[in-house]
Amino acid sequence: MLSKAQISIVNALQHKKFRTQHGLFIVEGIKSVLEFVNSSYQVQKIYATAEAVTKLGKIPHKIKLEEVSTHDFEKITALKSPQGALALVELPKADAALSEDVLKGKHSLVLDDVQDPGNLGTIIRTAEWFGIRHIICSIGTVDAYNPKVVQATMGSLSRINIHYLPLEDFLDKYRLPTFGALLDGQDIYATDFGNEGFIIMGNEGKGIRKSIIDKIDKAVTIPRIGDAESLNVAVASTIFCSELTRQKKYPK
């Protein structure tokens, strides 16, 4: 039986303040839990129903696995249709290893104050699909360890490097080519992205901040054929990632 203290801690991890305080975040779902078990992340504990324990299979001895009743599991899950498996995973240490050498020779996504958890989760999942390994987020971007973000990544978060940094300082320090998604830019399909650089995507409602626009080398737009006012940032990010891949696979 789960104690009140255990239930309280797990539920508190829905909020960033307590994730930071405890150094933990939540991963739900059998597939996602296994993705983190088999990653470089440190899984501290797994709560699972009897049915989920069977589906999880053999878990490394260093990870505590506690079987709980379905009734108790309902007290800690945040999902409407839970799969009976929830892991407490240690937040990664602040990344001091980010260097220009790590970023050179490849493209990375830069997110300026993206707010919606679903959008960030989709962007992370998309980045993995297209082989992008680093996402640099502004301090104002939604927390990647928000349970809704983690859920939306479908396990991809376990393999993507997420960095939260003051973007102005970051872009001044790492002088790689910068491409910004803007409405009044060059046609994306006529843009040469080269073999490295930063693809900057803006906030859902406000776009890219003026202080960041000033640091963009080339404004790029996805041509509009219809009458829609704008594109969802996750959709726009997917189109940019797809075009980067197309250029690498099918150079002119």
| Domains of the chain (ranges, CATH numbers) | 4-90 (3.30.1330.30), 100-249 (3.40.1280.10)
The sign of the dihedral angle between the CA atoms of 145, 150, 153, 158 is positive
DSSP-assigned beta bridge partners for residue 45: 64, 88
Please tell me the distance from the alpha carbon of residue 92 to that of residue 43, in angstroms, as a whole number.
11
Please tell me the distance from the alpha carbon of residue 82 to that of residue 187, in angstroms, as a whole number.
43
Q: How high is the pLDDT of residue 1?
A: 86
Reported as type and span, the H/E element at residue 67 is strand 64-67
203 secondary structure, DSSP code: B
* Grouped pLDDT means (10 residues each) for the chain, 252 residues: 95 97 97 96 97 96 96 95 96 76 94 98 98 97 97 96 95 95 96 97 96 98 92 97 93 72
Q: How high is the pLDDT of residue 95?
A: 60
Q: How high is the pLDDT of residue 112?
A: 98
In 3D space, the residue among 204, 152, 149, 157 whose CA is nearest the CA of residue 181 turns out to be: 204
In 3D space, the residue among 87, 129, 241 whose CA is nearest the CA of residue 179 turns out to be: 241
